[in-house]
Amino acid sequence: MKHLGIDYGTKRIGLAVSNNEGTLAFPKQTLDNSPYVFIQIIDIVKTDDIKHIVIGKSLDSFGNENIVEKKIQNFIIKIKNELDDIDVVQQDERGSSIAAASHLYGKGNIANQRWTGKQNTKKREHNDAHAAAIILQRYLDKQ
């Protein structure tokens, strides 16, 4: 079964997909969080034959829901309304963005904008998709 992982952000939404067996997660793309994002996600679900969606659950360091989680809940409701035949679950996303950025440290210290200025912005912009892959892989590993 193929899964779609989502790292929801107020500005950008990272997407990842699993292999057909549902064992490995791969970064797919990052979308702007715009009014058109649902159309884009629906298209990806249909094109990639997605059967299951895993969305990051935004919690603070104590495990309590934060402000972003309320927006994620609204996002989930919209997805379920559009894709009522797709199962949608949440997976704790704590630390996924940090883990996603950590791989950049081996690529010429581009992870921190203070070190390199804006010249490496393009290389840093795919962290959201990597974070989605981490969230999805955590879920797949539990299955």
Beta carbons within 10 angstroms of residue 12's beta carbon: 18
CA pair distance 6, 29, nearest whole angstrom: 10
Cα gap 68→132, rounded to integer Å? 16
Model confidence pLDDT, tens digit, residues 43-67: 999 999 999 999 998 887 787 888 8
For the stretch 81-114, pLDDT in tens is 999 899 999 988 765 565 556 555 555 555 555 5
- Report the topology of domain 3-142: Nucleotidyltransferase; domain 5 (3.30.420)
Half-sphere exposure of 5 (CA within 13 A, CB side): 33
Give the distance, in angstroms, between the CA of residue 111 and the centroid of all CA atoms in the same chain: 18
**Which of 7, 6, 8, 26 is closest to 17 using CA atoms?**
26
Give the per-residue pLDDT at 67: 87
**Start-end of H helices in the chain:** 37-47, 67-82, 96-102, 113-116, 121-124, 127-142
pTM, entire model: 0.82
